């Protein structure tokens, strides 16, 4: 039982045949009161302002106030978590965005450990649960496989696909946190691979695959990246392979197995509550419209025409939303070009509560409105099952806000089911996300990633969309927030417990 009370948010949707589409879900992430600012802004300058209360912003804000820095957190939503939040519906937790955790994610696991959640995990799949098989529907009929058989087919297809260097990606990406060139691989070698889309790579190896193996591969790529094999860069898949220890056998354990039992909003709240205990001040439901730097001081203007000033700013706004913010001085031409190219992850993630026991169900449809489905344990009461399904880029094909009734049709293609309700967050229509966690097209990483990671004057750009390691993952967000806070502390000055005889000389503000 959570120590938090789930308050209504204005985000998320529920669909039932009886009530239709209803907006707003309850979550532990809603913050009340919405605003807590003790200092006045007249003539005052914050040591740091953090824009965004996702994991990057929460970690940055917590680390800054822990070091004694006067910090303001500004968030457009009514809740913490950003693209990672959990809704509570009649006693059942549904993860709306980022979901799964792993011991491979060292920074994230450290946060779970810090806040007493390292062992508070559950598994998405249930051994020997109802419908304990894998359904594969490739358009030529639906067939059932054991999970072992489906896993072996997927592993074979992925192994051939990823093995462009004859060493399962180890030669091309031996150090995945330094993808763009390091002591073992030159930038030019990486750049050559980055020119390939996943379609290019599939065309190179498709004659080595059966029809079922090809279908599994064609669907797995957009399941990972939220786009299509045509627009996802192959280097993105190489990075993913390297980060999961070059082994498809670890895919389920790293990507889609373990969850925080009480939901990600519980961890986000614990970080936020820790930060407020240490002195963090904040303002929610406060979108920003501009970030202006003059004479070393950064002014952040909100849509209510309130202006906050700081020595340093941590900006965690995702790449797809950056065009909505006015920067002065303007962002670099190369960064503007990257933002115009943008990312390709326009995923659809849908939960449903279904009658009976479907906890063992897994499946793939290709082509289809949804790609993959997972049985996700019993709902509260133990008489219905929570299921989770993913699609790639369904824009123009299936709009969950305009045609929610089609969600049921798409889900029933995997298996006959009596659907009680559908629960989701539409990230594509979300004005503060506009897409899922970033995956990029061919040629993007070697041309733009380093630029996205750079600071913009006294504005530190921190988001999982351009993380060094687990880009697009919660782990990457934690990485970015921690690095930004550490940079600010090094620059605006912090004395240790036993400073030396020479006074600390902070860098020029």
Average pLDDT value for the chain: 94
What is the gyration radius of the CA atoms in the chain, in angstroms? 23
Q: 175 to each of 5, 160, 181, 235, 274, how far by Cα in Å?
A: 43, 21, 9, 13, 34
What ranges in 400-460 are assigned the alpha helix state H? Answer: 405-412, 444, 450-453
Identify whether the C-beta of residue 327 lies closer than 8 Å to the C-beta of residue 456.
yes
Judge contact between 190 and 178, C-beta under 8 A. no
Q: Which residues does 114 contact at the CB level (< 8 Å), separation at least 6?
A: none
DSSP-derived secondary structure for 251-313 = HHHHHTTEEETT-HHHHHHHHHHHHHHTT-EEESS--EEEEEEETTEEEEEETTS-EEEEEEE
* Greatest distance between any 2 Cα atoms in the chain: 78
Please report the pLDDT score of residue 386 as a whole number: 97
Element (H, E) at 474: helix 474-492
Residue 144: its pLDDT value, please? 93
Look at residues 201, 194, 206, 204 and name the one whose alpha carbon lies nearest to residue 236.
194
Rounded mean pLDDT, 446-473 = 97
Q: How confident is the model at residue 461 (pLDDT cuts 50, 70, 90)?
A: very high
Q: Is residue 509's pLDDT more than 90?
A: no
Task: Name which of 214-228, 240-254, 299-313, 337-351 the model is least confident about.
Answer: 240-254
pLDDT at site 41: 53
pLDDT score of 506 more than 60: no
CA distance 121 to 260: 4
pLDDT, residue 251, reads 87
The angle subtended at Cα 249 by Cα 246 and Cα 254, nearest 5°, is: 80
pLDDT at 226: 94
**Is the pLDDT assigned to residue 235 strictly greater than 90?**
yes
Q: Across residues 327-341, what is the average pLDDT? A: 98
What is the per-residue pLDDT across 43-59, written as a single tens digit (0 to 9) for each?
689 999 999 999 999 99
Q: How far apart are CA 405 and CA 418, in angstroms?
A: 13
Strand-pair partners of 86: 95
User: Mean pLDDT throughout 410-434?
Assistant: 96
Confidence of residue 99 (pLDDT cuts 50, 70, 90): very high
Neighbours of 344 (CB within 10 A): 25
Residue 507's pLDDT band (cuts 50, 70, 90) = very low
Question: Among candidates 325, 331, 310, 330, which has minimal Cα distance to 458?
Answer: 310
Mean pLDDT of 376-398: 93
- Confidence at 215, pLDDT banded by 50, 70, 90: very high
Rounded CA gap, 54 and 32, in Å?
17
* Percent share of the chain, pLDDT over 70: 96
Conformational region of residue 293, where left means phi above 0, alpha means psi within -120 to 50, and beta covers everything else:
beta
Give 52-98 pLDDT, tens digit per residue: 999 999 999 999 999 999 999 999 999 999 999 999 999 999 999 99
Find, among 413, 369, 433, 437, the residue nearest to 226 by Cα: 437
Distance CA 405, CA 390 (A): 16
**In the 8-state DSSP scheme, what is residue 383?**
S
Q: Are 193 and 236 in contact (CB under 8 A)?
A: no
**In this structure, what are the phi and psi dihedrals at residue 307, rounded to the nearest 5 degrees?**
-120, 130
Query: What is the rounded average pLDDT of the residues 269-278?
Result: 98
* Residue 508 pLDDT class (50, 70, 90 cuts): very low
Domains of the chain (ranges; CATH) run 25-85+263-342+435-492 (3.50.50.60), 125-256+348-426 (3.90.660.10)
pLDDT in tens, 140-194: 778 999 999 999 999 999 999 999 999 999 999 999 999 998 899 999 999 999 9
pLDDT of res. 127: 85
Mean pLDDT value across residues 478-486? 98
**Bridge partners for 121 per DSSP:** 260
- Cα distances from 309 to residues 19, 372, 500, in angstroms, run 46, 46, 32
**Which ranges of 168-233 does DSSP label H, i.e. alpha helix?**
187-194, 198-205, 211-225
Higher-pLDDT residue of 344, 1? 344
Residues paired with 74 in a beta bridge? 51, 283
Return d(Cα 215, Cα 263) in angstroms, integer. Answer: 33
Compute the residue count for the chain: 509
């Amino acid at each position: 039982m959570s120590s938090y009370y789930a308050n209504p948010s204005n985000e998320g949707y529920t669909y039932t045949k009886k009530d239709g589409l209803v907006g707003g879900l309850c979550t532990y992430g809603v913050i009340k009161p919405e605003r807590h600012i003790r200092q006045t802004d007249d003539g005052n300058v914050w040591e740091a302002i953090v824009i965004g209360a996702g994991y990057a912003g929460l970690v940055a804000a917590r680390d800054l106030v822990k070091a004694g820095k006067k910090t303001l957190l500004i968030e457009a939503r009514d809740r913490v978590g950003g693209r990672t939040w959990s809704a509570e519906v009649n006693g059942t937790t549904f993860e709306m965005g980022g979901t799964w955790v792993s011991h491979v994610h060292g920074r994230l696991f450290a946060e779970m450990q810090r806040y007493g959640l390292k062992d508070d995990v559950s598994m998405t799949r249930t051994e020997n649960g109802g419908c304990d098989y894998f359904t594969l529907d490739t358009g030529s009929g639906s067939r059932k496989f054991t999970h072992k058989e489906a896993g072996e087919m997927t592993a074979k297809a992925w192994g051939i696909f990823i093995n462009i260097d004859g060493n399962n990606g180890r030669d091309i990406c031996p150090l995945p946190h330094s993808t763009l060139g390091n002591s073992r691989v030159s930038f030019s070698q990486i750049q050559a691979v980055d020119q390939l889309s996943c379609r290019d790579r599939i065309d190179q190896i498709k004659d080595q695959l059966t029809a079922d193996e090809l279908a599994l591969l064609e669907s797995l790529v957009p399941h990972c990246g939220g786009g299509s094999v045509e627009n996802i860069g192959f280097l993105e898949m190489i990075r993913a392979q390297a980060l999961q220890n070059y082994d498809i056998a670890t895919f389920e354990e790293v990507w889609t197995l373990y969850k925080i039992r009480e939901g990600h909003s519980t961890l986000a709240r614990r970080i936020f509550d820790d930060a407020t205990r240490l002195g963090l001040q904040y303002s929610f439901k406060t979108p920003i419209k501009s970030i202006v730097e003059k004479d070393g001081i950064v002014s952040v203007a909100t849509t209510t025409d309130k202006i906050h000033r700081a020595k340093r700013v941590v900006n965690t706004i995702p790449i797809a939303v950056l065009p909505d913010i006015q920067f002065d001085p303007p962002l670099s031409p190369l960064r503007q070009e990257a933002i115009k190219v943008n990312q390709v992850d326009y995923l659809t993630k849908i939960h449903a509560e279904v009658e009976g026991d479907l906890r063992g169900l897994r499946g793939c449809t290709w082509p289809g409105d949804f790609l993959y489905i997972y049985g996700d344990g019993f709902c509260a009461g133990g008489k219905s099952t929570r299921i989770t399904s993913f699609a790639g880029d369904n824009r123009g094909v299936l709009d969950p806000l305009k045609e929610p009734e089609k969600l049921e049709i798409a889900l029933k293609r995997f298996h006959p089911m009596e659907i009680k309700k559908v629960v989701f967050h539409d990230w594509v229509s979300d004005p503060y996300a506009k897409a899922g966690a970033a995956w990029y097209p061919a040629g993007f990483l070697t041309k733009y990633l380093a630029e996205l990671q750079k600071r913009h004057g006294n504005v530190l750009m921190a988001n999982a969309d351009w993380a060094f390691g687990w880009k697009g993952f919660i782990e990457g967000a934690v990485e970015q927030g921690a690095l930004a806070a550490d940079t600010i502390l090094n620059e605006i000055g912090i004395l240790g417990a036993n400073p030396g005889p020479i006074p600390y000389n902070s860098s020029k503000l």
